[in-house]
Structure 1
């Protein structure tokens, strides 16, 4: 054992890694002065499972430490430079659960436990890091993801909740049905508002009158003095819960094409009015400026303008990612952008066809999004995955393919590259009648060849975007019936999910590509996102869940159906959303964010990444056993 007299060198080292990077200089220097630096040969043990705790907390200075289960000697996790380990036992007072063994020549810092505890008590950010399970040798559990979000600064600010705006900004202006129009106008002028909510005797909203309604009244030559509020109010009102976010508000506003939204206690017209949010309020909020972009996408007069506004939306979505807005808020916005762009592309294609569109009524066909678009998980633009489902003859197919070709071209102009594998509606192979789709899916399920199983990972996440939704729902229900009669098919899906490249090496370091242009990078899609999505899909079809397509939503729903695995499934949902955010933050131009370089991730992100992959390993073990995939080999 050799004591390191150069505390400043240790200080500079710790300063590079979380959570030490945010500790006050005086406090960190005190810990460094009392620390020791010890050399370990490969195979040397720092501590053994079952041993009583020491008065130290350990940090890897150089080399690598394997944290092993005592019986199997299986590596639970690897600690690399900057990683803290041995902390759980130090604070619980219980013996060590794992054995810490040097995997290579290593230098280990021993930090004074008493000083470490004092720092935990005095520094909330420091303690929240370890409370969130980020030390090596600890599992990240469901409740800790909330703490982790705070430690990583990934939660949306409470100020973005509507109730805070109305608590601090202004109170709603309300009136009764019997009030005259002149009195209503005076109310608006007096309080400098553009709307008044009309309520019943119990204070519940039954209508709304806006300044636009008053202007229409004057323009029509009507006498305001002869009218009451009830004569011109719009009703029933569209309402939203006061606990909703700004993004919820403007999505609702965009969906209903309205300029004012009434906020109530529970989001229905049956409780008291808490406020009114206007389009102007949304535009004042810097994170809500996409409302105007959504409206412009929806009404773009031509392809060039549509492409321009889709690019504008992309810039705003990227800004939201950079601002660390929660994925629960970003994903609905991105999905709305993608769907509105697709719908407008379809409408522009129909207008280009002119008279030929007479037979292309939406009752006869349905445009379906596939893959990540089908799962509502595409934030920034990648390639297209879509298909057509229709009712009609072979002649109708020819017209639909011509139409789909125009749509695919428009989407390409809008930044969605054409699928290299031609999984697009313009491909005759994926423009089929309802009966043809049923036969196709039946063949894949009854004869699960490798290519068929691969196709199901793309097509089983289909979602109707435009046209006849009921026929798409009928097709989804038909798939559930087929799987119910062919349960072994789920075993083939499980085997395919387990064939994904591992996220960790044998010694629990992140597995990276060993050759090619992505050498040394982590395949976030292939080793993490796709396996999570595959497992969620398998479990969803096992439980006959058809209405929920997104991966996190599937895990959250299944958690309610499998209470013994509820915590694990909730962990998986949160981990998946974090991984999804990392991918889209990493995306840039032609780079889809699939491969992560070490330089992109901060030390904190690297720690969280390793923790986010742990539920995946447990789930892989569960589906291997549940679906007996070993019998297929």
Structure 2
């Protein structure tokens, strides 16, 4: 299907806000991800149509990919942007694909996806490069071995093909694996970079809320509950050369030797579902990951504490495995 026909097809189905409102009444993660996929596809196709009208058809094969929660298929009701572009080799193509990346960023913002604070978007040169330049950049990130460059490596590990040449994304992942195999200490450095796990339960067994700032008194669901699972399984996926990007699929694809970790699949799936119920009623991205614990039932508070303990224990187990080699 051509870009213009695909855009018309998507526009005929629903407008972005209609899709978002239908999502607000839906608590099944899989259904919500389907809605996000359609909304993002709508935005990307509109961007392509705009650029084609000004600059003509893409001058080379390319791939558009998403990262972050979109890459992992773990978006909440509202989400920010994390994405990139890789295109066939030629310096002549840079202006075209930078223009496309900028238009995609604008269209996604118009659809309700906040721009990434860290500028992890195809509208920046770091995340919009030719295949050869991407390979060089990955090499440079690993060679520099700083907190920032290793953070980029971890971000790229969640890259999921969204449109275009899927094998281009596989090439990037294979480059990461090349370095992991050739540098035994790289995985340890990535584990160190992932950082500490945010404490979620106090001395008296209470859920710890934010002590200050705009979210004072709220509980950080993303950093405290979700990220121990996400960060731990990303590291294991790198170790075991697992190409899957969602945390749940990474668990499923682990070798049988990781039975202790694989046994948490159902619990994590329940966490993704309950996360949406905790977040219902939010109308913007800014506070979507913070929960007012005073409005939670006793059973919800208890379940949150169980996930905090489970996630922290799971991450510590993974960290010990990776740091010991």
User: Which category of TM-score, normalised to the shorter sequence, fits these structures?
Assistant: 0.7 to 0.9
Matches within 5 A, 1:516-595: 516-546=213-243, 548-558=244-254, 560-567=256-263, 569-570=264-265, 573-574=268-269, 576-578=271-273, 580-582=275-277, 584-585=279-280, 587-595=282-290
Matched, 1:365 2:71: no
Which runs of 5 or more residues in structure 2 are unaligned? none
Report the counterpart of residue 515 of structure 1 in structure 2. Answer: 212
SS in 2 for 1:388: strand
Asked if structure 2 preserves the Cα contact closer than 8 Å seen for 1:370 and 1:386, the reply is yes
Equivalent residue number for residue 235 of structure 1: none
CA–CA separation in structure 2 for the residues paired with 1:479 and 1:365? 20
Checking the alignment, whether the CA contact within 8 Å between 1:369 and 1:463 is kept in structure 2 is yes
Q: Which moved more, 1:340-349 or 1:466-475?
A: 340-349
Q: Which has the higher contact order (CA 8 A, sep 6+)?
A: 2
Q: Is the 8 A contact 2:86 2:129 kept in 1?
A: yes
CA distance in 1, matches of 2:227, 2:261: 21
In the alignment, the residues of structure 1 paired with residue 281 and residue 149 of structure 2 have an alpha-carbon distance, to the nearest angstrom, of: 31
Distance in 2 of aligned mates of 1:414 and 1:571? 32
Gaps of 5+ in 1: 1-294, 322-326
Task: Tell whether 2:138 aligns with 1:428.
Answer: no
In 2, distance between residues paired with 1:486 and 1:335? Answer: 36
Aligned to 1:152: none
User: Helix, strand or coil for the counterpart of 2:280?
Assistant: helix
Conserved? CA contact 2:63–2:169, under 8 Å: yes
CA–CA distance in 2 between the matches of 1:410 and 1:480? 33
Deviation at 1:355, TM superposition (A): 6.0
C-alpha distance in 2, partners of 1:484/1:337?
38
Q: Does residue 1:504 correspond to 2:201, yes or no?
A: yes
Distance 1:341 1:570, change over 3 A: closer
- Residue 293 of structure 2 corresponds to which residue in structure 1? 598
Q: Structure 2 matches for 1:72-91, cutoff 5 A?
A: none
Change (3 A) 1:491 1:433: same
Say whether residues 1:317 and 2:23 are aligned partners.
yes
Q: Deviations over 1:353-394 (max 9, x none)?
A: 326223435xx1111111000111114232211111111322
Tell me, in whole angstroms, the C-alpha distance in 2 between the residues paired with 1:390 and 1:562: 37
Question: Could you say what secondary structure the match of 2:293 adopts?
Answer: coil
Q: What is the DSSP-based 3-state SS (H/G/I as helix, E as strand, rest coil) of the residue aligned with 1:501?
A: coil
Spell out the pairing of 1:4-43 with structure 2 (5 A cutoff).
none
Label 1:470 to 1:492 Cα distance change in 2 as closer, same or farther (>3 A). Answer: same
TM-score, normalized by length of structure 2?
A: 0.87
Q: 1:617 to 1:318 in 2, by over 3 A?
A: same
RMSD of aligned C-alpha atoms? 2.7
Return the alpha-carbon distance in structure 1 between the equivalents of residues 46 and 262 of structure 2: 46
Q: Which residue does 2:315 correspond to in 1?
A: 620
Decide which of 392, 395, 398 is 2:92's aligned counterpart: 395
Q: CA deviation at 1:477?
A: 2.1
Superposed CA offset, 1:183-218 (max 9, x none):
xxxxxxxxxxxxxxxxxxxxxxxxxxxxxxxxxxxx
Change (3 A) 1:359 1:610: closer
Find the aligned partners of 1:471 and 1:590 in 2 and give their Cα distance: 31
1:157-556 to structure 2, matched below 5 A, reads: 299-300=9-10, 309-321=15-27, 327=28, 330-331=29-30, 333-353=31-51, 354=53, 356-361=55-60, 364-546=61-243, 548-556=244-252
Provide the C-alpha distance between the structure 2 equivalents of 1:340 and 1:401, rounded to a whole number of angstroms: 23
- Cα pair distance change 1:590/1:345, threshold 3 Å: closer
Conserved? CA contact 1:314–1:380, under 8 Å? yes
Mean Cα displacement is larger for which, 398-407 or 490-499? 490-499
Higher helix content, 1 or 2: 2
Q: Which structure has the highest strand share of the two?
A: 1
Larger Rg over CA atoms: 1
Q: Post-superposition shift, 1:564?
A: 4.9
Between the two proteins, the alignment pairs up a number of residues equal to 320
- The DSSP-based 3-state class of the residue aligned with 1:387 is strand
